[in-house]
């Protein structure tokens, strides 16, 4: 056994009156590479932040002298000085793109301007040549060089992750912590990242990965599983036994009937089968461009009521842009032949009339809520399609909010603020927000990001039961085929902005 590299003894961390880490002991020896697993809310990210010195902890945290860099699970966009507050639809509005900094400026702000050449006005590279060597190699392997002039807010989730990784690697840390680095990455991106992690390990870089059981790189030597702030296992990888739970989830019909008593279509059993279901989405030769970049290229797509679609494709393929045309978040919808719910865009309908028919989740939606908002307020805002709650609820609306939070086991979190929750708990809150008004269409963009195995299984079954019971139309995006609800029976794949068969 090598020399001790990092040690924790009796570490306890309390946040908001809750004990998140509870007398935790942990010793990492030089040469070990650790993966930290555990259910949502177990304290994994809090443990990482404690190593960074971001939380007050009792006990001993032996990280003195270590330069620790962490790749966070979610990137937070930064606006230019003097720009107005960022809003969700801004990433799709080319007129507002200049309100956020570019990738080149982000890297320069991290102290990496020497690696990027001289920055001209507005962050455009006057000399785009990046020096060779190891640093330039990481920029190339993560395909960051091609993103340098792109505004941060217009990056896909996967592109954003690559920029974060580039910054972390170029900082040359003594210890590199990844918080769920594979979230939002397509299959190719996950393979590339695993390869980079394995090469870093081979070069002697100590790493801690917070991840799931299905995303453990070959180089990992030790595994720790957190549950309720303590280790349920901590030791060599070969001694670890999977704790993944596989069991059928059953939803009580009486609960669903109570929550959806106002379903305008009535119970599914009482509805006749309609052979020719109405078209709810129609796109004819749709093309979306930002400057010289073509994001969607001559897309033709028709969705009928009650169909359940999987939309897939690599990072940057145009999936989020496609969804933004349906959710009324993209102004370029008016310049294309797009029909939603039987009406062409731009013929007098309001965005609120469209949003009222859609329940929506995206990987970054939580970033745009006021940090002081309670979870109850976030869920309730789904009744009005606003990012924040700006009106009083009726007793009936309060009952609906309570019912959904109980159904998703969120009732105990109702008065906590959204940023106080784990990533998985935040995602469940946003799922409740999407479902609360019983919309005829659900658009779920990577909804299981951050959920643990049990939450994912429950949610997949919930989506299937809702779609089958209430004849909902479903558009579902995921990079993991095993996350798709079993009701999915139609598939659309995008590559480089084009539809492929």
Q: Which residue has the higher pLDDT, 61 or 111?
A: 61
Q: Which residue has the higher pLDDT, 301 or 123?
A: 301
**For 314-362, what is the HEC assignment?**
CCCCCHHHHHHHHCCCCHHHHHCCEEECCEECCCCCCHHHHHCCEEEEC
- Class in CATH terms, 4-239: alpha beta
- Identify the pLDDT of residue 134: 54
pLDDT of 52 higher than 90: yes
- Identify the pLDDT of residue 82: 46
Q: Looking at mean pLDDT, say which of 12-16, 255-259, 309-313 comes out highest.
A: 309-313
Are the C-beta atoms of 333 and 40 separated by less than 8 Å? no
Confidence label for 28 from pLDDT (cuts 50, 70 and 90):
very high
Ranges 77-81, 116-120, 205-209: which has the least confidence: 116-120
Ranges 44-58, 232-246, 304-318, 441-455: which has the least confidence: 232-246
Sheet holding 18-29, edge to edge: 18-29, 4-15, 58-62
pLDDT of 273 higher than 60: no
When pLDDT is averaged across residues 246-272 and rounded to a whole number, the result is 49
The b-or-e profile of 65-94 (16+ CB within 10 A means b, else e) is: eeebbbbbbbbebebeeeeeebebbbbbbb
pLDDT of 122 higher than 80: no
- Identify the pLDDT of residue 75: 61
267, two tokens: 């119970």
Mean pLDDT of the residues in the chain: 82
When pLDDT is averaged across residues 4-14 and rounded to a whole number, the result is 94
- Identify the pLDDT of residue 73: 75
- Identify the pLDDT of residue 255: 54
Confidence label for 270 from pLDDT (cuts 50, 70 and 90):
very low
pLDDT of 130 higher than 70: no
pLDDT of 364 higher than 50: yes
- Identify the pLDDT of residue 180: 87
pLDDT tens column, 314-332: 888 899 899 999 998 888 8
Residue where the block lists tokens 């919930």: 462
Are the C-beta atoms of 479 and 185 separated by less than 8 Å? yes
Smallest CA-to-CA distance from 40 within 320, 436, 423 is with 423
pLDDT tens column, 167-219: 887 778 899 999 988 887 888 878 888 888 898 899 888 999 999 888 899 99
């Amino acid at each position: 056994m090598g020399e001790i590299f990092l040690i924790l003894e009796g570490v306890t961390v309390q946040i908001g009156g809750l004990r998140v880490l509870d007398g935790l002991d942990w010793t990492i020896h030089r040469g070990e590479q650790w993966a930290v697993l555990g259910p949502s809310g177990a304290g994994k990210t809090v443990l990482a932040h404690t190593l960074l010195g971001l939380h007050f902890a009792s006990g001993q945290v032996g990280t003195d002298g270590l330069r620790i860099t962490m790749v966070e699970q979610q990137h937070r966009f930064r606006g230019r000085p003097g720009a107005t507050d960022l809003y969700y639809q801004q990433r799709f509005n080319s007129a507002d793109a200049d309100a956020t900094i570019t990738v080149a400026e982000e890297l320069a702000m991290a102290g990496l301007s020497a690696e990027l050449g001289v920055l001209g006005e507005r962050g455009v590279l006057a000399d785009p040549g990046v020096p060779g060597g190891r640093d330039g190699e990481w920029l190339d392997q993560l395909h960051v060089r091609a993103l340098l002039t792109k505004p941060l807010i217009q990056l896909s989730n996967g592109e954003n992750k690559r920029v974060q990784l580039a910054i972390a690697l170029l900082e040359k840390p003594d210890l590199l912590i990844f918080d769920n680095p594979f979230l939002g990455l397509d299959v190719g991106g996950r393979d590339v990242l695993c390869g980079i992690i394995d090469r870093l390990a081979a070069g002697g870089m100590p790493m801690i990965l917070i991840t799931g059981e299905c995303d453990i790189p070959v180089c990992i030597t030790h595994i720790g599983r957190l549950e309720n702030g303590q280790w349920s296992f901590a030791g060599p990888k070969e001694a670890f036994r999977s704790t993944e739970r596989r069991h059928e989830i059953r939803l009580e019909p009486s609960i669903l009937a109570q929550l959806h008593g106002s379903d305008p279509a009535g119970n599914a059993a009482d509805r006749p089968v309609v052979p020719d279901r109405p078209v709810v989405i129609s796109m004819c030769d749709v093309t979306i461009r930002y400057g010289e970049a073509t994001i969607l290229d001559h897309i033709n797509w028709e969705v009928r009521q009650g169909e359940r679609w999987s939309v897939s494709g690599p990072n940057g393929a145009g999936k989020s842009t496609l969804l933004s045309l349906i959710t009324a978040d993209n102004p370029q919808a008016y310049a294309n032949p797009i029909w939603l719910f039987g009406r062409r865009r731009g013929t007098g309908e309001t965005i609120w009339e469209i949003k009222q028919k859609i329940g929506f989740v995206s990987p970054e939606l939580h970033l745009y809520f006021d940090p002081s908002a309670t979870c109850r307020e976030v869920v309730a805002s789904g009744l009005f399609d606003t990012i924040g709650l700006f009106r009083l609820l009726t007793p009936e609306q309060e009952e609906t909010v309570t019912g959904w939070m109980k159904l998703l086991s969120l009732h105990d979190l109702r008065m906590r603020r959204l940023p106080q929750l784990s990533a998985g708990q935040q995602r469940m809150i946003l799922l409740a927000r999407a479902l609360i008004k019983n919309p005829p269409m659900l658009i779920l963009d990577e909804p299981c990001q951050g959920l643990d195995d049990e939450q994912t299984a429950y949610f997949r079954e919930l989506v299937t039961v809702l779609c089958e019971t209430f004849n909902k139309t479903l558009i579902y995006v995921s990079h993991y085929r095993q996350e798709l609800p079993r009701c999915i029976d139609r598939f659309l794949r995008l590559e480089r902005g084009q539809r492929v068969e």
